[in-house]
Chains A and B, each alone.
Chain A
């Protein structure tokens, strides 16, 4: 690795002529592009922070614990939205992780070779469907199904839990969680599949050589080896679930409340911003909405950084193993 100063051509006074033209200019241009992303993220953070000052100074930490959201009387608390975002994402993970891992294991280990490409393609195609389409499908197909079949079933079997009591509208936290699960399955399964394919074949061969069954090979040679990467994939899915807006707005019921029941309506952070931002004319109201944006930015940033770090660590491990 040359020193970073190389990029600015400072140490290259001798013999640098052959680099002067295309290469060094191109390198600088790409460096600027890379820095641009960093600057952009910092500017977004700064802008969100400075524009939520009014709300931060008025409500302080009480903003995080307040449960009231009343634009008419200008009382703003973010807890119901944080609760809605986190809970719907957790429901989504509970549903999506087992299914996604099943898809990934099948595609990387078990599926006949000629099915692998078309099936992987289908999974990636699902990731490209716009979220508002999922929302429409959710509202017109999934919600009536939840109302007429899933909720009565859950109530009759698990109704002793407070989670599955309450009004049976179809719309609510459960619907929000399920639609998110459907939306993050492609992300989690595609990344997990890549990670499993990256496990060196020597691992599998070693396991087979020791007399392991197929299941044992997958469990000890593949899953154990790939676990950090899979965890990263799950966090990527979680990141998408936390930020998803349109599809959730359409099925979650948009009611800022904290209720144990999954049948009750709830509200998410991105949902309230998208819904109320346009017509928020008072300054403190706008500032409170921007502060919710700031909180969401921080939460998703942490999740994504964590996910990236895990995936990178895993990749480095493989490189070490192969050499």
Chain B
């Protein structure tokens, strides 16, 4: 028995030695790394909306390949979280789908840079239907208000004379979580239907008159694809990646039915260029451009107008790195959009972005002068 005791303590010592050795090796490696790579990197932190996250992640990795000394992190914590973190100066930039109002900017003015656009499609599942369903704004509002409950309702038949719509109840699916997608969709319905604006209104979460709620784009897509005779709304990229049928929506100004594509979404911004000169924080649903898809929206990067609000955490060099990255994102960065199913910013909007970026200062000094 005493032998066993010594054996144990011996193995105990060698275990301790092994742990120590690993510890020393790790410390040594880390130390060597820092000795060989003196600290020249600039780290930029961002947080916010999940909708542009895939595109921003692509930008950060591509930008880092060209500028190894700039490391950029972005966390998709949701628009609300992003706004809160930039107000508290935890992050250098934030992403948001819904713009921040002047009176909500309690800790310094926030410049909104449109970085890409989003569009919401009205997805449906009608077994046996050939051809695309066509809808107009008022009809969509009536379906989601519960005023139209059957697929063979006369308004739906009048919009789709070439389709044979079934005598079935409409199953309505919507998002249950607060989301920018819901904001864009209800913003559109409020713009085209007075009844919707009065009864429900627009917001990231609303009091839905009818329907079943599901979590996220995958949840709504799951409901729509599993329930025959259903209708729902979701992010355009999600619908097209998952082969879900979506409707063509009537442009109220030209009377044409517009297929949601990256080009027709891009057009939505072009209908509002004059208003954008004054303030980019505008809603671009129901765009007057004749070829525009009407359920679209900007998504923004937020930056502090005066970057010295960060105190010691910011300096001129870092603020220039920050603006250079955003400048690159709205120019060269746009070439990564289509592959990830985001619309490109129209050239006129990029010019507006340039002016906005020039307006940002550090200690009153403009940072980008070219």
The answer to the question of B368 belonging to the interface, with a C-beta cut-off of 8 Å to chain A, is no
With A71-B203, A279-B204, A280-B178: A169-B80 Cβ-Cβ less than 8 Å: no
With A71-B206, A72-B200, A250-B215: A278-B178 Cβ-Cβ less than 8 Å: yes
Contact B80 A139 (CB under 8 A): no
The answer to the question of A143 belonging to the interface, with a C-beta cut-off of 8 Å to chain B, is yes
| Chain A neighbourhood of B205, CB < 8 A | 71-72, 275-276, 279-280
CA distance A280 to B203 in the complex (A): 10
CA distance A288 to B212 in the complex (A): 22
A174 to chain B, nearest CB (A): 13
Which residue from chain A places its CB closest to the CB of B208 in the assembled complex?
A255
Contact A279 B202 (CB under 8 A): no
With A250-B219, A255-B208, A281-B80: A73-B177 Cβ-Cβ less than 8 Å: no
Contact B222 A139 (CB under 8 A): yes
Interface residues of A (CB under 8 A from B): 68-73, 139-140, 143-144, 147, 167, 169-172, 249-250, 253-256, 265, 267, 271, 274-281
With A72-B201, A167-B169, A249-B176: A278-B212 Cβ-Cβ less than 8 Å: no
B227 to chain A, nearest CB (A): 6
The answer to the question of B79 belonging to the interface, with a C-beta cut-off of 8 Å to chain A, is yes
CA distance A276 to B204 in the complex (A): 9
With A72-B201, A139-B222: A278-B207 Cβ-Cβ less than 8 Å: no
> What's the dominant secondary structure at chain B's contact region?
loop
From B77, B207, B213, contact of A253 by CB (8 A)? B213
Q: A172-B212, A280-B80 are in contact. List 7 more A-B contacts (CB 8 A).
A: A171-B212, A250-B215, A265-B212, A275-B176, A278-B78, A281-B79, A281-B84
Which residue from chain B places its CB closest to the CB of A272 in the assembled complex?
B176
Contact A68 B178 (CB under 8 A): no
The answer to the question of B290 belonging to the interface, with a C-beta cut-off of 8 Å to chain A, is no
List B120-150 residues whose CB lies under 8 Å from chain A: none
Number of B residues, CB within 8 Å of A: 33
Contact A276 B215 (CB under 8 A): no
Q: Which of A254, A275, A278, A279 has the most CB of B within 10 A?
A: A279
CA distance A173 to B213 in the complex (A): 13
Contact B79 A279 (CB under 8 A): yes
A73 to chain B, nearest CB (A): 7
CA distance A127 to B328 in the complex (A): 51
Q: Which of B179, B202, B213 has the most CB of A within 10 A?
A: B213
CA distance A278 to B169 in the complex (A): 33
Q: Which of B79, B205, B227 has the most CB of A within 10 A?
A: B205
Contact B178 A254 (CB under 8 A): no
With A72-B200, A250-B219, A281-B80: A169-B212 Cβ-Cβ less than 8 Å: yes
The answer to the question of B81 belonging to the interface, with a C-beta cut-off of 8 Å to chain A, is yes
Interface residues of B (CB under 8 A from A): 77-81, 83-84, 169, 171, 176-180, 200-208, 211-215, 219, 222-223, 226-227
| Chain B neighbourhood of A276, CB < 8 A | 176-178, 205
Contact A278 B81 (CB under 8 A): yes
Q: Which of B77, B171, B176, B177 has the most CB of A within 10 A?
A: B176
From B180, B207, B212, contact of A71 by CB (8 A)? B207
Which residue from chain B places its CB closest to the CB of A264 in the assembled complex?
B212
CA distance A117 to B220 in the complex (A): 42
From B79, B83, B203, B226, contact of A72 by CB (8 A)? B203
With A139-B222, A169-B227, A254-B212: A279-B207 Cβ-Cβ less than 8 Å: no
Contact A171 B177 (CB under 8 A): no
| Chain B neighbourhood of A71, CB < 8 A | 178, 203-207
| Chain A neighbourhood of B222, CB < 8 A | 139-140
B124 to chain A, nearest CB (A): 16
B230 to chain A, nearest CB (A): 9
Which residue from chain A places its CB closest to the CB of B207 in the assembled complex?
A70
**11 chain-A/chain-B pairs, Cβ below 8 angstroms:** A72-B201, A73-B201, A167-B169, A171-B223, A254-B214, A265-B213, A276-B205, A278-B177, A279-B180, A280-B80, A281-B80
B168 to chain A, nearest CB (A): 12
Which residue from chain A places its CB closest to the CB of B96 in the assembled complex?
A281
CA distance A22 to B206 in the complex (A): 60
| Chain A neighbourhood of B212, CB < 8 A | 169, 171-172, 253-255, 265
| Chain B neighbourhood of A271, CB < 8 A | 176
A51 to chain B, nearest CB (A): 14
With A254-B212, A255-B213, A281-B83: A72-B178 Cβ-Cβ less than 8 Å: no
Contact B201 A143 (CB under 8 A): no
CA distance A169 to B210 in the complex (A): 13
A184 to chain B, nearest CB (A): 22
Which residue from chain B places its CB closest to the CB of A256 in the assembled complex?
B207
| Chain B neighbourhood of A73, CB < 8 A | 201, 207
Contact B171 A69 (CB under 8 A): no
A267 to chain B, nearest CB (A): 8
CA distance A6 to B78 in the complex (A): 52
